[in-house]
Structure 1
Amino acid sequence: MTTPPPARPGEKERAAPDNPMRLLDLLDSAYAAPNEPERFDELMEAAKRYFFKTGGEELAADIPHAVEFDGRLAPHIDRIQSMLDATSLAPAGRSASAYGRFTLAAGGRVIEGNEAASRYFSARFPCDLTALDLDPASRKRLSAALADKSSGEEPIIIRLEGQEQPNTAIALCRRTGEGAGARLECSLSHVVWTDELVSAVGEALGLSEAEAGVLSGLLRGLSHAEIAEERGRAADTVKAQAKSILRKSGAERMSDVIHLATSVAFLLKTAQRDPAASASARPAAASEERRFKAANGRIVSYYAYGAKRGAPVLYFHGSLQGPFFLNSFVNGLNDLGATLYGPSRPGFGGTDPARKGESYDGATVSDIAEICVREKLDDILLLVQQGGVSHAYRAAATLGERVKGMIMVGGGVPIDEAAHLPTMDRYTRIAAAAVKHAPAVMELITRIAISVFKRRGYRRFLEDYFAGSPADLAALSDPELYAIMERGLDHLIAHGPKTFVSDGAAQMADWREDFERVKARAFWLHAEDDPILPARFVQEWVRARTNHPVETAPEGGYNFIHRRSDLVLATIEEALAW
């Protein structure tokens, strides 16, 4: 049986749980799960026994002091991570990400990458660039892009050809850092661009047949001159058609078009594979990702949806789904003349984690403030999903009178552990207890969970997560909504498990003071079948402190903002007139 390591010389002996067998049971399950993914459920049961009394609802008496023992888990986390790194990366279900992602560092070293990239290149990361299944010309192009400072942080496109296998892919790359700290962050788009698929993507983007032909060449990494020669057209004609593609897709750069086209292609393929896919299913809503370097040097990513320069709506995403929406919702924003800005919080998606020594909450609010300045936002409506609520109130307290009002969709309230935890689903209850009282345990569980569900496939994770919510299980059969769920999970784990821990701790913190500082008008929408926090707790808490309306609706579940987007849009329309 695994035992905790002894205290280091000179280190004060830390308190152990009242029942150390619970911790040992948890660690034994944690050591078993990396090599036996089917035992992940045993780990979750061990975590429930560790945090809660028999019955699994009331916190164990010693848990409020568990953080005193937290630091002693670091060696275990390191060992288990080594086990996770050594396990096979081949998943049993769908790839965790439709995109391979990898990072090339100075000296020709690929320092990290996801499982999709590992499978594509037949390599394990970290490794030398020469270990990747690429022909010499492709390696040279990647090395040259890493060395080229002139591109700044603008994305560039590189065509990659396999050496052993006849694979062709497009890599969208962004260079960051200087000298020994230089990095080339690459997103790998591997699609066999058949005429049928290009035609379908062109139709989804509203392109003419001629423009779709030009797009086909761009997707295969051809230059304007090469496309002109291949199609027997003048170079100026091809350039004009390329400009038309940019305009129709709503993108500023051709790299954004390729990223968008690949997203559409992957979704079309998913819909074809999914037996529950509807013939009328549409690809996920097109969005424009914007990035900038913040004042503290971090890269901040956010998305823009809806009308161009319309009435500003600032979105605060929940943990699992990120700032992504259905086509019908985006069309509704357009109809309302509203522009929704959806930032990725620190450590989510394309946004860098908070710097060492910088608070997570401080980085979140600072990013929001910089976005508002860059986009010249005023009279702002805040749209808030689930756990984004604490962040929204912190930001609103800082933005002050620039906030027009707030709409909470499934938004929580400051957590009362005794009252709220027993009503939560298993995953949420364990996470809520862990991020507050034992963040190292939460990090350990999250690391294992990420590895296990990458191998099992995200659908299996979502089926397990939504097991107690009929509305959400039904939502899995909607290919457009399912694609948003997968994209949201990728968005969550983009920078590893620490983001989940930091964000969860911010949600579990006492943010009542921020709530009381905000005087803006607000409206609360909550699903009657919300699996995270029952509507009655929200109604009681909000009505005891404000005159904010709290309305409920049936059959919304966890995915309320998507399943009942009609109600959300109607509320936005009303709020824009406040």
Structure 2
Amino acid sequence: MNGTLAVIGKLSSMVATTQAVRSRSHMSHTHRYFEMLGAAYDVPAESDRFDVFLDAAMAYFFEDHTAGQLAEDVPRHFGEDSLLEAHAERIRLLIEEASRLESAGADRFHAVLDVSARTGQVTGNAPAAQLTGQSFPCRLDDLPLNVEALAEIRRTARMVHVQDRVILAKVETDQVRACLALIQRPKDAPDLVQVSLSHVDWSPELMARLREAFGLTQSETQVLEGYLGQLSQKEIAQQRARSLETIKGQSKSILRKTGCARMSDVVQLCASIAFLMRQLPDGAPATSGETWATPVRGMYELARPGGRRLAWYQAGSGQRPVLFIHGYMQGPFFTPGFLSRLTRSDLYFVAPSRPGFGHSSPSRGRGDYVRTVVEDALALVDELGLEMVSLCVHHGGAPHGFRIARALGDRLAGMLVVGGTIPFDDVAHPAHMNPQTRFAAMATRHAPSVMRMALSVGLPVYRRRGTKAFLTTQFQRSPLDMETLEDPVLLKVQSEGLYHAVEQGTETWVRDGRSVMADWTDDLDGVSAPYTWLKAGDDTVVSTEHVEALLADRPNATLKVLPGHALNLLHTAARDVCAALEESV
């Protein structure tokens, strides 16, 4: 670890130097490279720094990443950047080590303060000195605790018989930290008040547990988080850009749902719950509690040459089969409502997992990924004895779908594209995309090693934060998609799709992303069978204008735009999708 710390120190120094010598508004490629690298090395020590790293990675590619303009000096690494690959692997190991230490309880230091009830003099152990920045002995008033916590300690000191109290306190040093304070009067030391402090990280995972426990809405949970940060109602209103009356109404709802009379009681109740949660055995995972495992319900396997296996799913219970090619992050999983409509239309999906996704074996190498996708699909069609094949392709699965359709030739009966991506144009398309998709597109296309680093750094972080945090980042520019995260059914399906995408690590993302970003215009031109293209009106990845331009001179293509839908078109527009499927089949 010492060698690693030296590397981190050197990188931080280099970053500081680059910042000091800036003489113009845009840094050179070299400077941006080291800023990105330095930010990446910060993540193992503090996972919240991942967002800073992502900003630095975007700045590496874009002069103005609000407009999506690619910087002129970005190098085009069509192969691999071996140096960056080595850094990515080192950072991955550092993150794994940090996670191991955290799950073992290494960061749960226990600070204990002993306060004389008679004189107010305070002594403490080494963790207490580290937490408070205070030398012992000292006076009670010298402790950097908030006024309410000090008052509670004094009140306990004046009482002889008092029950143990757990309160939320703040250690107000250079960095204000929320702590749980367990205040006790030990029976064998009548002159002593003992205060045990434990740092509270009001993480998204903990807030999700509190929300579930009390039955709060997302907005109420955000208001509660403000109170836990010891903000006033006015400050919460300003922070959330809401009226004071709105915050007061949500506060009353929180009181009603928690059964408390005052918000201070709610804060203490939350602190108590957090304290109890931190008493779980050290082996308990310090994560969101999610098990990132691809579902196997409805899954079958087909043996492939070379010991590979193809995993595929059957969804729906109709009589007419449709080959379904899933999106980039969205897997072959559907809501009960969609499956019901599918069956009502007398259809069922045959949905193969591409190489390396879910439980399908990876392709043998990076260079044969596209060929393996097509060969797997054709083998499955033959295995099931399908003479004529209808296709449904979804989002980032569109390039693969058209490659498969072209290979099927006269066996293709019809085709439906749901929110499909289009052949990518570096100049025309990035400005419309949301920042995360824009970054993924450019990194995959021009610097796959940067993409691999982003995944190596980011996925462990989001395994701890939870899929909802990941999807919130993805959908931040799409209000309609953000709404789907408040629907447990839609959130479950989207989470399963994410598990399916990362089941076997990050390499598949890079391989699949590169195949999507490759020029597949010839495959598009090679499909003569009729197809319908369903387009969401509020898609934040592909604009309606670009799809219209793509399909304008294709007489076999019919475009239908569905307003009021976004990236989750497949799940939110089940009726329209199934109606279009009936027509295609």
Does the alignment reach a TM-score above 0.5? Answer: yes
Give the distance between the partners of 1:272 and 1:375, measured in 2 at CA. 47
Q: Of 556, 561, 576, which aligns to 1:552?
A: 561
DSSP-derived class of the 1:65 partner: coil
Superimposed CA distance per residue, residues 373-394 of structure 1 (whole angstroms, 9 cap, x where no aligned partner): 1111232111111110000011
Q: Deviations over 1:206-232 (max 9, x none)?
A: xxxxxxxxxxxxxxxxxxxxxxxxxxx
Match in the other structure for 1:133: none
Paired residue for 1:10?
A: none
* C-alpha displacement of 1:556: 1.4
Q: How does 1:180-219 map to 2 (within 5 A)?
A: none
- Could you say which residue in structure 2 is the equivalent of 1:146? none
**In the aligned structure 2, how far is the partner of 1:375 from the partner of 1:68?**
38
Q: Which residue of 1 is the match for residue 435 of structure 2?
A: 426
CA distance in 1, matches of 2:530, 2:491: 33
Give distance in 1, aligned partners of 2:366 and 2:579.
42
Q: Work out the CA distance in 2 between the residues paired with 1:449 and 1:59.
A: 22
Map residues 410-449 of structure 1 onto 2, 5 A cutoff.
410-449=419-458
Equivalent position of 1:480 in the other structure: 489
Cα separation, partners in 2 of 1:53 and 1:325, compared to 1, 3 Å: same
Are positions 1:526 and 2:535 aligned together? yes
Shift of 1:302: 0.7
Aligned to 1:28: 38
Within a 5 Å distance, the mapping from 1:94-243 to structure 2 comes to none
1:84 pairs with 2:95: yes
Residue 44 (structure 1) aligned with residue 54 (structure 2)? yes
Question: C-alpha separation between the residues in 1 aligned to 2:495 and 2:416?
Answer: 25
Deviation of 1:74 after TM superposition, in Å, equals 2.1
- 1:297 to 2:307 alignment: yes
Task: Say which of 361, 367, 374 aligns to 1:365.
Answer: 374
CA distance in 2, matches of 1:520, 1:62: 43
Measured in 2, the distance between the counterparts of 1:445 and 1:273 equals 36
Q: Which amino acid aligns with 2:71?
A: A
Question: Which residue of 2 is the match for residue 72 of structure 1?
Answer: 83
Residue in 2 that maps onto 1:63: 74
Aligned length: 384
Matched, 1:335 2:344: yes
2:77·2:448 contact (CA, 8 Å) conserved in 1?
no
Q: Quick one: distance in 2 between partners of 1:45 and 1:394? A: 35
Structure 2 match to 1:19: 29
Quick check: 1:462 aligned with 2:471?
A: yes
What are the within-5 Å matches in structure 2 for residues 301-320 of structure 1?
Answer: 301-307=311-317, 310-320=319-329
Residue 48 of structure 1 aligns with an amino acid whose one-letter code is: M
| Contact preservation (8 Å) 2:532, 2:559 | yes
Whole-angstrom CA distance in 1 between matches of 2:96 and 2:296 = 35
Change (3 A) 1:389 1:536: same
Inter-partner Cα distance in structure 2 for 1:271 and 1:432: 36
Which shifted more, 358-367 or 434-443? 358-367
What aligned pairs does 1:242-281 form with structure 2 within 5 A after superposition? 275=216
Looking at structure 1, the residues matched to 101 and 340 of structure 2 have their Cα atoms a distance apart, in angstroms, of 38
Aligned partner of 1:536 among 539, 542, 545 = 545
| RMSD over aligned Cα atoms | 2.8
Q: What does residue 451 of structure 1 align with? A: 460
| TM-fit CA distance, 1:66 | 4.2
Aligned partner of 1:12 in structure 2 is: none
Unaligned runs of 5+ in 2: 1-9, 15-26, 106-210, 219-293
Q: Indicate conservation of the 8 Å contact 1:349/1:490, yes or no.
A: yes
The amino acid that maps onto 1:302 is W
TM-score, normalised by the number of residues in structure 1: 0.63
Higher deviation after alignment, 506-515 or 57-66: 57-66
2:55 aligned partner, one-letter code? E
Whether 1:378 and 2:387 are equivalent positions in the alignment is yes
Work out the CA distance in 2 between the residues paired with 1:27 and 1:532. 27
Residue 65 (structure 1) shift: 2.6
1:399 Cα deviation after fit: 1.1
Partner letter of residue 582 of structure 2?
A: E
Q: Residue 208 of structure 2 corresponds to which residue in structure 1? A: none
Larger Rg: 2
Match of 2:526 in 1: 517
Letter in 2 for 1:72: L
- Where 1:491 maps in the other structure, the secondary structure is helix
In 1, distance between residues paired with 2:100 and 2:542? 35
The 1:313–1:272 alpha-carbon spacing in structure 2 relative to 1, beyond 3 Å, is farther
- Write the distance in 2 (CA, Å) between the matches of 1:313 and 1:274: 40
Letter in 1 for 2:91: I
Q: Deviations over 1:342-363 (max 9, x none)?
A: 1111111011111136511011
Tell me, yes or no, if the aligned pair for 2:441 and 2:513 is still in contact at 8 Å: yes
What is the distance in 1 between the residues matched to 2:12 and 2:553? 48
Residues 1:307 and 1:44: Cα distance change in structure 2 (over 3 Å)? same
Take 1:88 and 1:441, find their aligned partners in 2: how far apart are those partners? 23
Cα pair 1:405 1:520 within 8 Å, conserved: yes
The structure 1 segments of at least 4 consecutive aligned residues displaced by more than 6 Å after TM superposition are: 270-274
TM-score, with length taken from structure 2: 0.62
Question: Aligned equivalents of 2:328 and 2:212: distance in 1?
Answer: 25
8 Å CA contact 2:548, 2:559 repeated in 1: yes
How many Å apart are 1:40 and its aligned residue? 1.2
Distance in structure 1 (CA, Å) of the matches to 2:391 and 2:13? 46
Number of the residue aligned with 1:408: 417
Letter in 1 for 2:473: D
Q: List runs of 5+ in structure 1 lacking aligned partners.
A: 6-16, 92-118, 124-269, 278-283
SS in 2 for 1:296: helix
Counterpart AA for 1:80: I
- Mark the CA change 1:298 to 1:69 in structure 2 (over 3 Å): closer, same or farther: closer
- In the alignment, the residues of structure 1 paired with residue 101 and residue 367 of structure 2 have an alpha-carbon distance, to the nearest angstrom, of 37
Please give the residue correspondences for 1:555-570 in structure 2 after superposition, counting only pairs within 5 Å.
555-570=564-579
- Matched residues in 1 for 2:407 and 2:61: separation? 35
- Are 2:501 and 1:492 equivalent residues in the alignment? yes
The one-letter code sitting in structure 2 at the alignment partner of 1:83 is L
Q: Cα deviation per residue 1:95-120 (whole Å; 9 max; x = unaligned)?
A: xxxxxxxxxxxxxxxxxxxxxxxx7x
Residue 555 of structure 1, CA deviation? 2.1
> How big is the shift at 1:469?
0.6
State the one-letter code of the partner of 2:87: H
Q: What secondary structure does 2:542 align onto?
A: coil
Tell me the percent identity.
33
Return closer, same or farther for 1:418/1:288 CA change in 2, 3 Å cut-off: same
CA deviation vs aligned residue, 1:251-304 (integer Å, no higher than 9, x gap): xxxxxxxxxxxxxxxxxxx99997569xxxxxx999510012212321110100
- In the alignment, residue 98 of structure 2 is paired with which amino acid? T
**Aligned-partner Cα distance in 2 for 1:491–1:547:** 33
The question of whether the paired residues in 2 share the 8 Å contact of 1:34 and 1:451 is answered with no
**Residues 182-236 of structure 1, C-alpha deviation per residue, up to 9 Å, x if partnerless?**
xxxxxxxxxxxxxxxxxxxxxxxxxxxxxxxxxxxxxxxxxxxxxxxxxxxxxxx
Q: Which stretch has the larger CA shift, 394-403 or 429-438?
A: 394-403
Q: Which of 393, 405, 421 is residue 396 of structure 1 equivalent to?
A: 405
1-structure distance, mates of 2:437, 2:347: 33
